Amino acid sequence: MSLTAPLGQVSDLTDEFDPLPVLDSTVMFEGMIFDVRRDTVDLGAGGVVKRDYIEHPGAVVIVALRPVEGVEHILMIRQYRHPAGGHLWELPAGLLDISGEPPWQAAARELAEEVDLRASRWDVLADSFASPGAFPEAARIFLARDLTDVPDGAEHERTGEEVGIRPLWVPLEDAVRAVLAGQVHNASAIIGVLAAATSRSLGWATLRPADAPWPAHPSQRG
C-alpha cells in the first residue's frame, strides 16, 4: 500500500500545528522544570483517547563555529547528565525559562553563561521536538559565528553540573564522524552537527534569520 503512495517534494514536508479538540486536561505531576499532563482528545474517526505528555518550556541549542588554521571547528561540551547516567558530549544549550525573551537572545545568554562566548552573527539551523509522542520539548538550534570572549570579570558563575563542563573545539568533520560512529548520543547535538555540516555543504543557503518564525513552539504561534 505504501509503495503506491503519492510522490512529493520539499514543499509537501511542512508540519502543521492545528491541535485537535481537548475535552479534558489535568496536570498529573508538577516538577521543578516540567509537568506531566493528561489530556482527553477527540481524534474524530480515531475516537476519544487519553494521552499523557510532558510540558516543557522549550530550549535553545547553539552550534558555535570558528575557523582554526583554516579549518572550521565546532565547540562541543562534555557534561554530566544524571538521568542518562554518564558524561555526554553536547552543544551549549539552555531553557527558554525567561518570559518574553526572544529565542535568539536566550541562545546568546546561554552561550555566554555556559562557555563565556559572544557571537555577532546568528542564524537558525534547525528546529526539533525531543519526542513528540510524549516529550514535545521544542528546541531551536542556532548557528553562532564571529565569536569573541566575554569581557574579563563578566564570566558567569556556574553551579551544579555546569561546574564540570569541559569545552573542546573539534573540526566539524570530526564531529560528524563521532555522531555517525555512535560516540555522541545527545539528540540536539546530533541534529546540530549534521545540520551544520549539511548547510555548509550547500553554501549556507538553508540558514534562516535569527528571528525566523517558530510555530513549533506554542509561545511563538500567531
Cα Rg of the chain (Å, integer): 19
Strands 93-95 and 48-55: unpaired
DSSP state of 133: T
- Domains of the chain, earliest start first: 17-55 (no CATH), 59-212 (3.90.79.10)
pLDDT at 85: 94
Q: Average pLDDT, stretch 194-207?
A: 98
Strands 48-55 and 59-68: unpaired
pLDDT at 222: 64
Q: pLDDT for 108-151, tens place per residue?
A: 999 999 999 999 999 999 999 999 989 889 999 999 999 999 98
Q: Does position 46 have pLDDT exceeding 80, yes or no?
A: yes
Provide the residue type at 104 as one letter: W
Closest by Cα among 102, 114, 108 to 75: 114
15-24, 50-59, 151-160: which range is least confident on average?
151-160
Query: 41 with 51: CB under 8 angstroms?
Result: yes
Compute, in degrees rounded to 10, the torsion defined by CA atoms 210, 115, 97, 81: 120
- Gap between the Cα atoms of 109 and 111, Å rounded: 6
Q: pLDDT for 140-199, tens place per residue?
A: 999 999 999 998 877 777 877 777 889 999 999 999 999 999 999 999 999 999 999 999
DSSP state of 101: -
